[in-house]
């Protein structure tokens, strides 16, 4: 669709959404920002960043700001399955709230076990009521792997002892959009790691409804909030890769935009933590970085208000947004080397990403070794 037509379609959608009843009557997002010392200018800068992150032209920035102001019109049901709550914590636990975390606060969370006051019978009642009241309109976000099949009883929730899988299936049935938040919900995560004692499965294997995977351990707050905003703007599924991850967030490899990439290409590697190479910021591949195998936007968007990310801090990527990373990417501080790691390709440009990258990496390291040897000879 051409840009001007898309802008008018989105404008119409946002206008009609703004007629929906406000779920947070007492406070606007602007007031919330002001209270937390965030100026309108900062907010618009953030909106411009979000627009770029979703790969939209800058003309969409005012619409992005408007979409953020409307996040209280969409009810969200957030379920916890077998997990550590790290995905929720990544949004909730910051001493200086980011704009993303404020927007998460502002979203109309109709049910979220970590942040709601209700417990026991009342909590279960709230969930049933939210599902019935907002039938077909709510966004469902599920965190955690889900014990399945004859092992469903490994996870029961609430005073009726209802199985987690049952909760997830029922909530998915009438949701307008479904997001699997984190690697556990997207791919099973640590719960599904060998020997997978609870037969944990990803959400997509529990429901037959389309599920958008937002993996990461945890996913960044930007990727969670970005998905909500994308849904508010377009009301449709984003373009997805082979693992049902939105391409705007998971379309590039960590390695592609890593600040240490120049050292990888030049064959300059950290040989062990704390050595001279580590002090010079060399590439972490030889101490286990899985950036070449991992699709995520960490190297571009970073964490903690864009201040840093694991590779910048000195540890390699452990591939947390890839399926079965607990089983496939270890040991985390050793390179995969010639261990076979095959994966269906997420970007459809190569057949087997693991094999293709391993070959290139092996060539890169061999080239480095050769160059190093020549340099040594010359010296
Ligand atoms: S291997 Fe890791 S540290 Fe090295 S360039 Fe790639 S992503 Fe960066
Ligand atoms: S750098 Fe790698 S391990 Fe760290 S959050 Fe990003 S994808 Fe996960």
Note down pLDDT in tens along the chain; length 379 residues: 688 899 999 999 999 888 887 776 667 787 888 888 889 999 999 899 999 999 899 999 999 999 998 888 888 999 999 999 989 887 776 556 678 877 877 777 788 887 777 888 888 888 999 999 999 999 999 999 999 999 999 999 988 899 999 999 999 999 999 999 999 999 999 999 999 999 999 999 999 999 999 999 999 888 998 999 999 999 888 999 999 999 999 999 999 999 999 999 999 999 999 999 999 999 999 999 999 999 999 999 998 878 899 999 999 999 999 999 999 999 999 998 767 555 544 444 333 444 444 444 444 444 444 333 333 333 3
26 burial type by CB count under 10 A (0-12 exposed, 13-18 middle, 19+ buried): exposed
Q: Which of 288, 289, 290 to mutate to test the pocket of ligand 1 (most atoms within 8 A of CB)?
A: 289
Q: Which of 87, 318, 322, 326 to mutate to test the pocket of ligand 2 (most atoms within 8 A of CB)?
A: 318
Q: Which of 189, 215, 216 to mutate to test the pocket of ligand 2 (most atoms within 8 A of CB)?
A: 216
Global confidence as pTM: 0.87
Count how many residues are written for the chain: 379
**Domain 254-378 of CATH type 1.10.357.10:** no
All CATH 4.10.480.10 domain ranges of the chain, comma separated, are 254-378
Q: What ligand is nearest to the CA atom of residue 292?
A: 1
Give me 67's structure tokens: 């979409």
C-beta atoms surrounding 182 within 10 Å? 32
**Domain 3-250 of CATH type 3.40.47.10:** no
Q: CA–CA separation, 257 vs 255, rounded Å?
A: 6
Q: What single string gives the DSSP state of each residue in 303-328?
A: BTTTTB-HHHHT-----TTSTTHHHH
Q: Between 99-106 and 40-53, two packed helices, what is the crossing angle to 10 degrees?
A: 90
Ligand 2 centre distance from Cα of residue 87 (Å): 13
All CATH 3.40.50.700 domain ranges of the chain, comma separated, are 3-250
Cα atoms found within 13 Å of the Cα of residue 247, Cβ hemisphere only: 12
Residues with CB under 6 A from ligand 2: 216-217, 254, 294, 296, 298, 309-310, 317-321
Distance in Å from the first CA to the final CA of the chain: 60
Q: CA–CA separation, 294 vs 97, rounded Å?
A: 28
Q: Is any atom of ligand 1 closer than 6 Å to the C-beta of 284? A: yes
The torsion angles phi and psi of 119, rounded to 5 degrees, stand at: -145, 165
């Amino acid at each position: 669709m051409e840009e001007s037509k898309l802008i008018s379609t989105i404008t119409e959608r946002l206008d009609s959404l703004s007629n929906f009843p406000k779920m947070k009557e007492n406070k606007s997002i602007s007031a919330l920002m002001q209270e937390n010392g965030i100026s309108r200018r900062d907010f618009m800068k953030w909106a411009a960043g979000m627009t770029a992150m979703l790969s939209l032209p800058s003309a969409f920035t005012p619409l992005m700001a408007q979409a953020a102001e409307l996040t209280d019109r969409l009810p969200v049901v957030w379920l916890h399955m077998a997990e550590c709550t790290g995905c929720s914590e990544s949004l909730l636990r910051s001493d200086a709230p980011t704009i993303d975390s404020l927007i998460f606060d502002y979203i109309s969370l109709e049910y979220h076990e970590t942040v709601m006051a209700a417990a026991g019978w009342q909590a279960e009642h709230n969930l049933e009521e939210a599902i019935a009241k907002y039938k077909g309109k709510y966004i469902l976000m599920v965190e955690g792997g889900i014990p399945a099949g004859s092992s469903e009883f490994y996870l029961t929730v609430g005073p009726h002892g209802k199985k987690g899988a049952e909760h997830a299936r029922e909530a998915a049935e009438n949701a307008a959009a479904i997001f699997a938040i984190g690697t556990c919900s997207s791919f099973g995560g640590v719960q599904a790691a060998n020997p997978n004692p609870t037969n944990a499965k990803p959400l997509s294997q529990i429901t037959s409804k389309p599920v958008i995977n937002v993996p990461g351990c945890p996913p960044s707050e930007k990727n969670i909030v970005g998905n909500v905003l994308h849904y508010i703007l377009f009301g449709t599924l984003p373009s997805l890769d082979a693992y049902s991850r939105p391409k705007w967030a998971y379309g590039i490899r960590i390695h592609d935009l890593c600040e240490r990439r120049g050292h990888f290409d030049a064959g300059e590697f950290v040989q062990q933590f704390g050595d001279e190479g580590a002090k010079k910021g060399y590439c972490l591949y030889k101490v286990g970085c899985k950036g070449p195998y991992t699709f995520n936007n960490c190297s571009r968007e970073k964490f903690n208000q864009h201040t840093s990310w694991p590779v910048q801090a000195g540890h390699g990527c452990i591939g947390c947004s890839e399926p079965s990373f607990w089983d496939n990417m270890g040991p985390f501080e050793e390179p995969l080397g010639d261990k076979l790691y095959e994966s269906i390709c997420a970007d459809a440009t190569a057949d087997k990403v693991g094999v293709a990258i391993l070959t290139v990496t092996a060539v890169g390291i061999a080239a480095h070794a050769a160059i190093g040897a020549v340099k040594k000879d010359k010296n």
